[in-house]
Chain A
């Protein structure tokens, strides 16, 4: 493991700085209804159509905890190898804003539902462990819309009360690449668990990014700045890069860094001060008297543990052991649950005499290319796992060559056609009859006598010419292995 090569450092004259990053990820709990009300959480509905009296904080309305959201948070905690707290407390975080109907957000402050855990990242230079500080449940606020009217702000409360998990890391991340890997891994784990869809475009996953810098080798942390509400990995990386350099510049100029909250301007690619520590809100946290402390039993947790599917790390291990994949291949296949599902379905459909390596190459090669060019997720693949498996088997058993397979694959895309039928209908079956091929090759050698002599005299690269001619003559259907064998014999 050569760490030095990939270390992310900021260089100024003789000084090198290390960047320290901690993330507070807000992940929307995958749930039909909100954290404390039965309103729908469906994305994209007409404004204010998914709002109950509780969500809009009408007088006398009371929150009632949604047990499903509790289960989702605990499952996520289990997925993060974290301590599940049998007793947790919902607190009120008090502040005024037009899209916060209660005048407080119900959150967990001192006693979160999930405690310390860890996430393992696969980095090019080896594995990296990122500590999880905590996971707590909280309500989302509504949405203020400022650009619909020059005079007024509109408020949409559809999101008000939707359950969020705030997942806080320890200050363990050291580069934009690690942040990228962490978010992807976290997203992957939650998608495996079905606890968050991880859809960043719809705001299901966003993060506050804490950044500080320190001279390389220093053990003490620098003053950190918090960049609020960044909603894509790319923006997180850009914001970190900008912010770290800004802080280093301040240090180099002999200035101090103010602890503050900053915003990332995606258009200008810079962070800007939002409020200083002195202006920080006093949220006046206190336990919500409308909700009793949340107590979960050991049995409740155990039942959820039994409900946990195979997670990416275990799946990867199994793929390597069971299918003899390389760690690299296994990583690609497990990082997204739908890819893993597709792959496993292909493996299952291939039956006894299967070539897993070939299937992996085809998934990561041809299939990914098609998905990429069409902008599709693997769950929307135009070729079903079943037909894909048949295609791989056709290659494996010599019915078609790899080259022909590509042609067949092209034809399969339109309407998920059965490759077997395509091969039959188009007469693409590989010619593997040695007698027919011998006749075909005899003719080619006859037609190219001079070249055959040159080859025999030592011009070995002419072998390729004969193969090409043979394939051409067969319309590409000749079994290339047989062609090779026969040519070698005849020439």
Chain B
């Protein structure tokens, strides 16, 4: 079957369950396409040989009751995978092979999925274009010269390019939703505490959250159902009643109140983003839901707040990469010299920039002015959402202030790069779930996404809204397979 890789996860699961396809057929098809797609540079490490072995083994005694029976999938290289190299896109971990498995990936394998390989990402998930990866930038399947977004750029590219039927990424400030938007796929950032952080290379602990990336909302719901579990190994994991997101998925969102926050109409936002948003509001109405104007007054403080909180936590989280225990170690005259050389050589420029920012804002004499104040503002941003949710069930915004930009276009302008996350960052600061769905194209034919933000633990609701809108939008990704020779 030549069109295996074009199938959605839901279709593949159905075909394997109906024995129309074997896991080996499916795995082979994705491996072959992945091998032909090396130009995208979506993978850092492939695990094709052992994937095929696992597929064959699955087929010998298939357990078709599983949710992801024999489904091959590649995952972002921020998830620790037992006996498979895990780099976080960094030179400092370029030889690191975990002896343990992250809870989220463990959940996936327990439901029958098979690891294809580890996908490229910005170094330690710090970036919005996948250009900070030690393993080179990733190309957007939409266009050779476009970034796929970041930090889960390899993941977005791999799903859009059909190198993997689905994937998981991580989202600290928009790292799932922004690349999903740039590549025309669906990406969900779950509520903070919904998916375990155990075994995920940490960037900013109070913001990091794993989430699914898929070609459609239903696939996304199914994967979310698999990865979201309470985990006592993560003290911030929350024990709440989790829905069967895929089973409970419905397009009936009649009467739902959808907030439209005026503060997201930012200066200099391209007209096509505004137009997309208006179209989105119309879709909402078409689905029988009711758009309501709301205000989230502290929105403009979200980005500066994020760029204090996230680097602060990162500066501390990344202190463990010191060359002493594992990973890259440079030779030094003494301990301090070894530290300095290891970290100067092992970390890229963007990571070093954020470590410095984080170290600065936590320094005595600056702590109150920066970190403490940022925490207070973070609370205000959360309060904005709490207040809004007294009136509405969800919030609709554009996912990004622009479509995908060109490779190299923003690498020398970190602030302009940071502005990419302006619509996604408040959601992380408030710990809320947010989903980006493809909703249209700009004049150049590049995909654009809309973001639906939900109440905490209300993933089902935003998945339902996304599911209903998806049908009305009827988005078709324009992918030409240009990279396949």
CA distance A101 to B201 in the complex (A): 15
B320 nearest CB neighbor, chain A only: A57
Contact residues of A between 37 and 75, Cβ < 8 Å to B: 53, 56-65
Asked, given contacts A58-B98, A153-B335, A282-B363, whether A102 binds B232 with beta carbons under 8 Å apart, the answer is no
Asked, given contacts A101-B325, A103-B322, A289-B204, whether A60 binds B102 with beta carbons under 8 Å apart, the answer is yes
With a cutoff of 8 Å between Cβ atoms, the chain B residues found around residue A57 in the complex are: 320, 325
Distance to closest chain B CB from A89 (angstroms): 12
Give the residue of A61, A92, A103, A284 whose beta carbon is less than 8 angstroms from that of B363. Answer: A284
Q: Are A289 and B313 in contact (CB under 8 A)?
A: yes
Give the residue of A59, A62, A292 whose beta carbon is less than 8 angstroms from that of B96. Answer: A59
Distance to closest chain A CB from B103 (angstroms): 9
Distance to closest chain B CB from A96 (angstroms): 6
Q: Is A420 an interface residue (CB 8 A)?
A: no
Q: Is A362 an interface residue (CB 8 A)?
A: no
Q: Are B201 and A60 in contact (CB under 8 A)?
A: yes
Stretch at the interface among B55-63, B233-241, B410-418: B233-241
Q: Are A98 and B324 in contact (CB under 8 A)?
A: yes
Asked, given contacts A101-B324, A103-B322, whether A59 binds B86 with beta carbons under 8 Å apart, the answer is yes
CA distance A171 to B324 in the complex (A): 39
CA distance A103 to B324 in the complex (A): 11
Q: Are B98 and A103 in contact (CB under 8 A)?
A: no
Q: Are B325 and A56 in contact (CB under 8 A)?
A: yes
Contact residues of B between 322 and 374, Cβ < 8 Å to A: 322, 324-326, 335, 339, 359, 362-364, 367, 371
Q: Are B316 and A59 in contact (CB under 8 A)?
A: no
Q: Is A291 an interface residue (CB 8 A)?
A: yes
Q: Is B9 an interface residue (CB 8 A)?
A: no
With a cutoff of 8 Å between Cβ atoms, the chain A residues found around residue B273 in the complex are: none
Q: Is B100 an interface residue (CB 8 A)?
A: yes
Distance to closest chain A CB from B322 (angstroms): 6
With a cutoff of 8 Å between Cβ atoms, the chain A residues found around residue B205 in the complex are: 289-290
Asked, given contacts A289-B204, A289-B206, whether A62 binds B197 with beta carbons under 8 Å apart, the answer is yes
With a cutoff of 8 Å between Cβ atoms, the chain B residues found around residue A94 in the complex are: 315-316, 319, 362
Asked, given contacts A96-B319, A98-B324, whether A60 binds B80 with beta carbons under 8 Å apart, the answer is yes
Distance to closest chain A CB from B426 (angstroms): 18
Chain A: residues with Cβ within 8 Å of the partner, total of 29
Asked, given contacts A102-B319, A103-B320, A286-B312, whether A53 binds B204 with beta carbons under 8 Å apart, the answer is no
CA distance A102 to B80 in the complex (A): 17
Q: Is B198 an interface residue (CB 8 A)?
A: yes
Give the residue of B235, B324, B326, B367 whose beta carbon is less than 8 angstroms from that of A64. Answer: B235
B101 nearest CB neighbor, chain A only: A60
CA distance A92 to B316 in the complex (A): 8
Give the residue of A92, A96, A282 whose beta carbon is less than 8 angstroms from that of B322. Answer: A96
Count, A-B residue pairs, CB within 8 A: 96
Q: Is A104 an interface residue (CB 8 A)?
A: yes
Distance to closest chain B CB from A56 (angstroms): 6
Q: Are A286 and B86 in contact (CB under 8 A)?
A: no
Q: Is B199 an interface residue (CB 8 A)?
A: yes
CA distance A153 to B364 in the complex (A): 31
Q: Is A296 an interface residue (CB 8 A)?
A: no
Q: Are A155 and B324 in contact (CB under 8 A)?
A: yes
With a cutoff of 8 Å between Cβ atoms, the chain A residues found around residue B320 in the complex are: 57, 59, 101-103
Q: Are B362 and A286 in contact (CB under 8 A)?
A: yes
Q: Is B202 an interface residue (CB 8 A)?
A: yes
With a cutoff of 8 Å between Cβ atoms, the chain A residues found around residue B199 in the complex are: 60-61
Distance to closest chain A CB from B201 (angstroms): 5
Q: Is B439 an interface residue (CB 8 A)?
A: no
With a cutoff of 8 Å between Cβ atoms, the chain A residues found around residue B79 in the complex are: 60
Would you give the 0/1 interface string for B180-206, flagging 1 where the beta carbon is closer than 8 Å to chain A?
000000000000000001111110111
Give the residue of B80, B318, B364 whose beta carbon is less than 8 angstroms from that of A284. Answer: B364
With a cutoff of 8 Å between Cβ atoms, the chain A residues found around residue B204 in the complex are: 289
Q: Are B233 and A64 in contact (CB under 8 A)?
A: yes
Q: Are B326 and A58 in contact (CB under 8 A)?
A: yes
Q: Are A282 and B364 in contact (CB under 8 A)?
A: yes
With a cutoff of 8 Å between Cβ atoms, the chain B residues found around residue A282 in the complex are: 363-364
With a cutoff of 8 Å between Cβ atoms, the chain B residues found around residue A63 in the complex are: 235
CA distance A432 to B80 in the complex (A): 85
CA distance A96 to B206 in the complex (A): 22
With a cutoff of 8 Å between Cβ atoms, the chain A residues found around residue B335 in the complex are: 98, 153
CA distance A289 to B428 in the complex (A): 14
Distance to closest chain A CB from B112 (angstroms): 23
Distance to closest chain B CB from A314 (angstroms): 37
Please indicate which of the listed interface residues A60, A61, A101 has the most CB atoms of chain B within 10 Å of its own CB. A60
With a cutoff of 8 Å between Cβ atoms, the chain B residues found around residue A103 in the complex are: 316, 318-320, 322
Q: Is B93 an interface residue (CB 8 A)?
A: yes
CA distance A101 to B325 in the complex (A): 8
CA distance A324 to B293 in the complex (A): 82
Q: Is B88 an interface residue (CB 8 A)?
A: yes
With a cutoff of 8 Å between Cβ atoms, the chain B residues found around residue A153 in the complex are: 335
Q: Are B367 and A286 in contact (CB under 8 A)?
A: yes
Contact residues of A between 261 and 302, Cβ < 8 Å to B: 282, 284-286, 289-292
CA distance A92 to B312 in the complex (A): 11
Q: Are B201 and A59 in contact (CB under 8 A)?
A: yes
CA distance A101 to B323 in the complex (A): 10
A59 nearest CB neighbor, chain B only: B201
Would you give the 0/1 interface string for B298-327, flagging 1 where the beta carbon is closer than 8 Å to chain A?
000000000000001101101110101110
Q: Are A62 and B198 in contact (CB under 8 A)?
A: yes
Please indicate which of the listed interface residues B201, B232, B316, B322 has the most CB atoms of chain A within 10 Å of its own CB. B316
Give the residue of B234, B235, B319 whose beta carbon is less than 8 angstroms from that of A65. Answer: B235
CA distance A94 to B314 in the complex (A): 12
A280 nearest CB neighbor, chain B only: B364
A92 nearest CB neighbor, chain B only: B316
B362 nearest CB neighbor, chain A only: A284
Contact residues of B between 78 and 121, Cβ < 8 Å to A: 79-80, 86, 88, 93, 96, 98-100, 102
Asked, given contacts A96-B339, A102-B320, A290-B205, whether A60 binds B93 with beta carbons under 8 Å apart, the answer is no
Distance to closest chain A CB from B207 (angstroms): 8
CA distance A162 to B371 in the complex (A): 29
CA distance A487 to B236 in the complex (A): 87
Asked, given contacts A96-B339, A103-B319, A286-B367, whether A59 binds B202 with beta carbons under 8 Å apart, the answer is yes
Would you give the 0/1 interface string for A128-160, flagging 1 where the beta carbon is closer than 8 Å to chain B?
000000000000000000000000010100000
With a cutoff of 8 Å between Cβ atoms, the chain B residues found around residue A64 in the complex are: 232-235
Asked, given contacts A62-B233, A65-B235, A291-B235, whether A104 binds B363 with beta carbons under 8 Å apart, the answer is no
CA distance A155 to B201 in the complex (A): 24
With a cutoff of 8 Å between Cβ atoms, the chain A residues found around residue B233 in the complex are: 62, 64
Q: Are B88 and A59 in contact (CB under 8 A)?
A: yes
Asked, given contacts A94-B362, A96-B319, A104-B316, whether A60 binds B324 with beta carbons under 8 Å apart, the answer is no
Q: Are A60 and B202 in contact (CB under 8 A)?
A: yes
With a cutoff of 8 Å between Cβ atoms, the chain B residues found around residue A92 in the complex are: 316
Distance to closest chain A CB from B185 (angstroms): 25
Please indicate which of the listed interface residues B199, B200, B322, B324 has the most CB atoms of chain A within 10 Å of its own CB. B324
With a cutoff of 8 Å between Cβ atoms, the chain B residues found around residue A61 in the complex are: 198-199
B327 nearest CB neighbor, chain A only: A59
Q: Are B325 and A62 in contact (CB under 8 A)?
A: no
With a cutoff of 8 Å between Cβ atoms, the chain A residues found around residue B359 in the complex are: 284
Q: Are A292 and B364 in contact (CB under 8 A)?
A: no
With a cutoff of 8 Å between Cβ atoms, the chain A residues found around residue B88 in the complex are: 59
With a cutoff of 8 Å between Cβ atoms, the chain A residues found around residue B102 in the complex are: 60
Pairs A–B under 8 Å by Cβ, sample size 10 = A60-B198, A64-B233, A64-B234, A92-B316, A94-B319, A103-B319, A103-B320, A103-B322, A285-B362, A286-B316
If A286-B312, A289-B236 are given as contacts, then 15 extra A-B residue pairs at C-beta distance below 8 Å, sorted by A number, are A59-B86, A60-B98, A60-B102, A60-B202, A62-B198, A62-B234, A65-B235, A98-B335, A101-B320, A104-B316, A284-B363, A285-B367, A286-B362, A289-B206, A292-B235
Closest 10 CB pairs of A and B: A103-B319, A284-B362, A289-B205, A289-B206, A60-B199, A57-B320, A59-B201, A60-B80, A103-B320, A60-B200
